[in-house]
Structure 1
Amino acid sequence: MNSILFIAPHEEIASIAKKTLIEMNLSIPLIVAKNKIAVNIAKQSESTSIIISRGGTVRDLKKYTNKIIVDIGISLTNILKSIEKLHLAGCKNIAIISNNNIIEPESSIINIHQTSVKICPYSNDEDVSKIIENLLPKNIDGIIGDIKPVELAKKYNIKNSIYIESDIISIRKAINEALILANKQQKKQLRLQTLQSIIDNINEGIIVYNLNKQPIFYNKLGKEILNNNTVLAGKKGTAQLNNYLTMYKGKILDINNEKLLLDVISLDINNELNNQILIFQKVNLIEKTARKIQVALYQKGLYAKKTFNDILYKSPKMEKLLTTAKQFAQSNSNILIYGETGTGKEGLAQSIHNASQRHDKPFVSVNCASLPPTLIESELFGYVEGAFTGARKSGKKGLFEMAHTGTIFLDEIGDLPLDIQSRLLRVLQEREIMRIGDDKILPIDIRLICATNKNLKQLIHEGKFRQDLYYRINVLRITLPPLRERTEDISLLLDYYLNKYGQISTKNLATEINRYLLNYPWNGNIRELKNVAEVLAFIYKNDISLDDVKHILDDVNDISSSNTSMLTLPINNNLKNMEKTIIQQLIDKNYSNDEICHLLGISKVTLWRKTK
C-alpha cells in the first residue's frame, strides 16, 4: 500500500501501530515524526496520497499538504481510564487539554467521582501555555492531554499528567478507513486513466478551458495543437483567444500542416457559463469516414450516385431550375418533380439528396410503376414472419424502413394504387409505419421526393389519385423542361455522350447533321439523345451522311419497324382484346418488356395487368 503512509507522533503510537499492521498482514510504511517534520516528510513522499496520524500533527498535515489525512481517534474508554488513574492518584481538579480535532471543540466542566474534569480544547500549540496558566489559580492538580500539554505540565510543576493514548481498536479503525479510501481512490484513478486513454485515442483533439480561458484539460491531439498555436495556448491573452474562437468556429484551421475542423461547445450549468470545450476533427478522417459510409450504402444499393455537378447544361432555364433545386435541398419538405420521360428526374432527385444534410444517409429509389400490385405493399412497408404465404422466415424490411434517416424517391408516383396511396398518406402524416402482419409501430425519419410524368390533377379528377396526398407531396415543386425547350443544351449533351461512347464530338459531324440534330424534337429527351449518341459513336465513319443519321433516329424511335409493321389487328374484337393481341404478337416477335412498354407508351404495371 504505497499510497498510504502512517506517521506516528511518538513511539507509543508507533509501537501499537506496528503490532496492528503485522496482525492485519499489511506493509504500510511507518514513520515516527510530528508537526513540521511530519509535514516535510509528507511533502517529499510523492507516491503517498493518504496519511494516518493523530493530534496536532493531523492539524498541520491538513493545513500544509494536499494529502488525504485520516485522524486516529481516541475512544471514550481511554479517556475514562486516564481520569480513573488520576482520581486514584488523589487528583480532584483534572484538565483534559487536547487538540480540538480529538475532543469536542467547546470548553466544558463535568464531575466524575467527586472529581472536577475541565475540557480545554486548543487549535494552536502556542495556546497551550496560556490555557495552563489560566488553570493554575483553579488548583488544577492533574492534566490529561497530547504531547505538548504533558510536556508543559512538568514545566508548571503539575506532577500528575497522563498522555491520552490511542488503543489498538482506534488504530485499527483508522487503518481500515485509510484502506477504504485507498480502494476508492484506486478505482477513481483507474476510471480516470481509462477515460484519458479513450480520449487520447479518439480521432478528435479536445481542449477544455476554464472561465479565465486557461486550458485545464486536453487529450493527446489537443496537447499537440496547444504546442503549435500560441493563441489557443492562451499566451496571446483572453481577448485574442475569444476573437479567434468566434472567427474560426465551424471552420477549417491549418495547424502544424494538418487541416482541422473546429467546433466550440459552451458548458452551462445552472444557467451559468462554466467551461468551454474545443473539439478539433481531422478533415482527412472526416472525408475517409464519409467515403466509407458511401461505400457501405452503395454496396447495399442505397446510394445516390448523381450530384449537381453531373448535370450538364448551359441554358438559363436549367440554371434557374438548379438554383431553386439547391435551395430545396436544404429543406426537409416533400418535393414533387414533374417532367416528361427521359428528362432526368431521378438524377435530379439524387443530386438534391447529395446536397442535403442527409447526404451520408440512405437513398432509396422506388419505381412505383415497376412493382406488381400484389407486391407493392410488402415492398414499401415490409412484413414479419408468417405475414402471408411465401413470406421470408425472418420477415423483411420495407423500403421506407430502409430509407430511415435518409431520402426515399418515389418515381412514377401517379401509378401508385389508391389503397397504397392511403397508406402512404398516413406515413407522411404520422411519420411511422407498420409492417404487414405486425402490431408494432415503427417511427421513421425520411425526406420524400416524388416524380411523375403524368398530370396528377387530371388523375384526381378521374378518381385515380388522392387529392389530400397530392397536397402532401406537392410542397416544393420542380418542373424539368423537355429537351426541345432547352435547345442550348443539345450540343453540349451530344458532345458529352459522343465522347463517352466513341471519343468523337459534334465537330466530327457534318454541319447539316448538326443542324438536323439541333432541330430534332427529341420526344424521348435525354434518354433518347443518349441512345442516338451511342449508336452514332459505334457506327461513326468520316463519310456518315444525314440519311444515315435519320435512319438511326428511325431505328431508335420507329414503332412501325419491320417487326411491328406485320402485326395483325382483328378489327371485329373490342379494344381490350385488340390490346392483348398486339402485346402477344410483340412478345412472339421477341420484343422485351421494356421495348413493348416503350412502343405502346404504357408502364410495366399496365403491361403486367394486360398479360396476366
Structure 2
Amino acid sequence: MLKQIGFVAPNEKMAIIAKRIFAKYGDEVLVETGSIDIGVEVAESLIKNGVKVVISRGGIAQLIRKRLKIPVIEVPITVEDIAEAILEASTAGKAIALVGFNNLFRGLKLLNPLLNINFEQVFIRSHEEIESEIIKLKQKGIDVIIGGEYQCKIADEQQLKSVLLKSGSKAIYHAYQEAKAILDTMMYERQKTEEIRAILDYTRAGYVAINKKGEITLINPAALKLNPYSNGEVLGKPLQEVYPGLMSLMDVLTSGKEHFQEIISIGTANVLCDQIALLSDQEVIGAVAVFQDIDAVQEAEHKIRNNFLAKGWYANYRLNDIKGESPAIKKSIQFAKMFSGTDSTVLITGESGVGKELFAQGIHNMSKRKNGPFVGVNCASLPESILESELFGYQEGAFTGAKKSGKPGLFEIAHNGTIFLDEISEIPLTLQGRLLRVLEEKRVMRLGSDKIIPIDTRIIAASNRNLATLVAEKKLREDLYFRLNVLRLHIPPLRERKEDIFPLASYFLEKSIKDKEIVFTESAIEALCEYVWPGNIRELRNLIERVAIMSVLEPVVSEKDIQNFLKENEPLLTCSTNNSFFSKPKINITKEEIAKSMRIAAGNKEQAARILGIHRSTLWRWLKKHQIDVEL
C-alpha cells in the first residue's frame, strides 16, 4: 500500500528520529531528507509517489506550502526545544540571537536576567532574509546564532558560532497526528465526493445546478443528453443559453419558492421536474433542477407494476372504474376519494357483492402508496392455523411442513403498500389480539421467531356483517372494532340505487358481447329494476353474462326472459338471515290501490310509486293499461 504522508526532514539526524517515531506508530510516513535549497523538489518527488500530506519544518515547510498545492503540516518548535538550544548556546557565548520564522515563541528576552546573557530574537518572513539579518546581528556584536540548518550554515560563513535548533520526538509525533487527521478527513471527503459523482453519473435523473448569476455550476451525464450542445461544454454558461426550458429555475433564485413534479419541455423531451433552492444562512445562493424523462418514469412504473403483477400483489381497479349515477354511490365514491389522501385504517361495510374490494383497490390506487403492493386476503377462506402463518409469516422449523427458508407474512409483503382484510369479522378470537397488536405497533413477528420486523402498511378491512352486533355478542373484540372503525365507508346495496341497475347492466353487456347488439324491451328493463338483487352487483353481472350467451339467436330480451333467469334465485328472496334486507316486490296491485296512492301523492307519480313499492315506469304502464283517471 502506498504511503500517503511524507516527511521532508531538514537534516539526516531529524530524519533518523522521525523514522524511529513513525515505525513505532504505524510506519505510514515516507521520510526523505531535504535542505531548504532542495526541500520543494523532494516534496514534489514524494507527491509523485502518492503522498497526499507533507510534514516539514520552518522555512522548508513555508516554501512547500507556497509553491505546491498540498496540505503542509509544520513540526512545531516547543518551549523545551528552544530552552535546550539557549542553554547550549550560553556555554559558547554571552551574545546570542535566535533567528527563525513567525512560528517561534515571542518574548524570550525575559530570560536574559535569569541566564545572565544578552539574548535577541529575529523573525524572518522568507529564507532570503536570513543572510542579511545574520550579518546585521554580527555587526551588533552577536557571537552565537541559534536556528535551523540554513541559519547555522550562514553563521559559519560569517565566522560565528551556531547551535542547531532541534525538534524533539513529541513535536514530530504531534505533527504526525495532525497530518494523519487531515489525511483521514481528505479520504472521507474524497469518498463522499466519489459517491456523489457516481450517483450523479449513473442515475437516470438529470441534475443541473446554477449559482446566483444563473450560471451552470454542475451538470451530470443524464442532463447532458438533453442539452443542445454536442460537446457538452456547458459549465459556466448561462442557464438560458443551454436550457431555455428550465428558466423557471431562475424564479426559484429570486423567490426561494420550490416547485415539485412539474412537467416541462427540454428540447424535444417532456420531463418531470423538481426545482429546489440552495440556502446558506437562510439566503438563496443557487438552485438545482432534478428531472426525469417522462417516458423513463412511465417505463420504470411499468416494470414495478409488472413485478407486482407477476406475484399477484397489485390493484386492478381505480375509483373511476366504479359505475353509477345515483346519489348514494356518488356519495360513497366521494368519501373513498377523501380517504385516499390519508393513511388511516378504513372499514368498508356492505352486503356481499356490492364491490367492497373494488373500492379498496380504488382507494389504494389513488393514494400515495399506489406504486406499492396491494395484498388482498379473505379471512373467511382459510382455517385458523393457516391464516395465522399467512398473515404473520413463519421461521424455519416453526411447525411441521414449514419451508426451510421460512416465509414472509402478508403484512411484510404489503410493506409500503396496502393490505385488504376482507371478511374481517371471520377472524377467530384467538388471532384478534395478535392482529390488534400489529395494527397498533406497526410491527410483526413471524411464527417461531423472536425478531421484530417493522412494517409500513395501510389497513383496509371489509365486512358484510354488523360488527357492532358481533362485539355485543362477544364474537369480536371491542378494542379491535374501534381500531378498525377509524374511517367508515358504507357501500349501498343495488336495491337502494335502482337508477344504477340498467346502466350497470348495459356496461356488463357491452363487456360480455361486442360484435352483436342485444336490446332489452321496456318491460325487461322494468323487471330488472323491480328485482331486489340479493346478490347485488355480482348477481347482476352474472345474470347479464347468461343473457349475453343465451341471446345469441334472439337479440331481443323480454320481461319473461329476465323472470326465467331470476327464478333460480327466488329462495334468496324469502329466506331469513341475520343480514336479510330483502322483501318480495308487491306485484298484485288493484286499480283502486293505484288510484288511492295517486290521490295521496297529489298526482306525483314518483311518490305514488314509492307508496306502492314499485318502479315509477311500472306505475306509468299500469296507469295507461287501466286507463285510470285520478280525481285530484
SS at match of 2:377: strand
Shift of 1:353: 1.2
2:99 match: 97
Partner of 2:615: none
Deviation at 1:535, TM superposition (A): 2.0
- For residues 349-390 of structure 1, the C-alpha deviation after alignment (integer angstroms, 9 at most, x for no partner) is 111111112222232222222223454344333444555555
Given residue 483 of structure 2, which amino acid in structure 1 is its aligned partner? R
Q: Does 1:549 align with 2:561?
A: yes
Count of residue pairs the alignment pairs up: 545
Query: Which residue pairs with 1:292 in the alignment?
Result: 303
Determine whether 1:344 maps to 2:355: yes
What SS is found at the alignment partner of 2:99? strand
- Work out whether 1:308 is the aligned partner of 2:319: yes
The answer for the alignment partner of 1:204 in structure 2 is 205
| Consecutive unaligned residues in structure 1, runs of 5 or more | 561-612
Deviation at 1:306, TM superposition (A): 1.2
Q: Give the superposition deviation at 1:195.
A: 1.8
Which deviates more, 398-407 or 212-221?
A: 212-221
Task: Tell me which residue corresponds to 1:260.
Answer: 272
Instruction: Give the match for residue 588 of structure 1.
Output: none
Match of 2:290 in 1: 280
Question: Per the alignment, do residues 111 and 284 of structure 1 end up closer, same or farther by CA in structure 2, a change over 3 Å counting?
Answer: same
**Deviation, structure 1 residue 299:** 2.5
Verify the 8 A CA contact 1:94 1:116 in the aligned structure 2. Answer: yes
Equivalent residue number for residue 485 of structure 1: 496
Structure 1, residues 39-90: CA drift from partner, whole Å, max 9, x if none? xx99xx9x997667765464355457643335588999999899989977xx
What is the Cα deviation at residue 518 of structure 1?
4.3
User: Are the structure 2 counterparts of residues 62 and 362 from structure 1 closer, same or farther at C-alpha, using a change threshold of 3 Å?
Assistant: same
Asked if structure 1 preserves the Cα contact closer than 8 Å seen for 2:5 and 2:180, the reply is no
Contact 2:253 2:285 in 1 (8 A): no
Counterpart of 1:69 in structure 2 is: 72
Instruction: Answer whether contact 2:444 2:454 (CA < 8 A) is retained.
Output: yes
Alignment of 1:433-444 (within 5 A): 433-444=444-455
Q: Is the CA contact (8 Å cut-off) linking 1:418 and 1:466 kept in structure 2? A: yes
Paired residue secondary structure (1:95): strand
Aligned-pair distance for 1:238? 10
Amino acid at match of 1:230: L
Q: Deviations over 1:527-546 (max 9, x none)?
A: 12211222222232345452
Change (3 A) 1:27 1:433: closer
Tell me if the contact between 1:482 and 1:525 (Cα under 8 Å) persists in the aligned partners. Answer: yes
Matches within 5 A, 1:75-114: 92-101=94-103, 103-108=104-109
Structure 1 segment 423-434 matched on structure 2, within 5 A? 423-434=434-445
Identity %: 33
The structural deviation recorded for 1:252 is: 3.6
CA, structure 1 residues 222+181, in 2 after alignment: closer, same or farther (shift >3 Å)?
farther
Given residue 191 of structure 1, which amino acid in structure 2 is its aligned partner? Q
CA contact under 8 A between 1:107 and 1:121: conserved in structure 2? no
Task: Give 1:230's aligned residue.
Answer: 239
TM-score by length of 2: 0.66
Alpha-carbon displacement from aligned partner over 1:574-601 (angstroms, at most 9, x marks no partner): xxxxxxxxxxxxxxxxxxxxxxxxxxxx
For the aligned residue pairs, the C-alpha RMSD in angstroms reads 5.6
Compared CA separation, residues 105 and 288, structure 1 to 2 (3 A): farther
Say whether 1:124 aligns with 2:135: no
CA displacement, residues 550-595 of structure 1 (integer Å, 9 cap, x when unaligned): 36523663559xxxxxxxxxxxxxxxxxxxxxxxxxxxxxxxxxxx
Alignment of 1:41-190 (within 5 A): 55-56=58-59, 58-59=61-62, 62=65, 66-69=69-72, 92-101=94-103, 103-108=104-109, 116=117, 118-124=119-125, 135=137, 139-143=141-145, 159-160=159-160, 187=187
Contact kept in structure 2, 1:7 and 1:30, CA below 8 Å = yes
Unpaired segments of 5 or more residues in structure 2?
20-26, 228-233, 573-632
1:424–1:98: structure 2 CA closer, same or farther, 3 Å change rule? closer
> How many Å separate the matches in 2 of 1:176 and 1:373?
68
Tell me how far apart the structure 1 counterparts of residues 359 and 81 of structure 2 sit (CA, whole Å): 90
CA contact (8 A) 2:393 2:410 kept: yes
Which amino acid in the other structure matches residue 100 of structure 2? S
Change (3 A) 1:119 1:264: same
More off after superposition, 473-482 vs 340-349: 473-482
Structure 1 residue 192, shift from structure 2 partner: 5.1
Deviation at 1:166, TM superposition (A): 8.7
Q: Supply the distance in 2 between the matched residues of 1:238 and 1:346 (Cα, whole angstroms).
A: 44
Correspondence 1:302-451 to 2 at 5 A: 302-373=313-384, 375-451=386-462
Question: In 2 relative to 1, CA 191–522 (structure 1 residues): closer, same or farther, beyond 3 Å?
Answer: same
Letter in 1 for 2:363: I
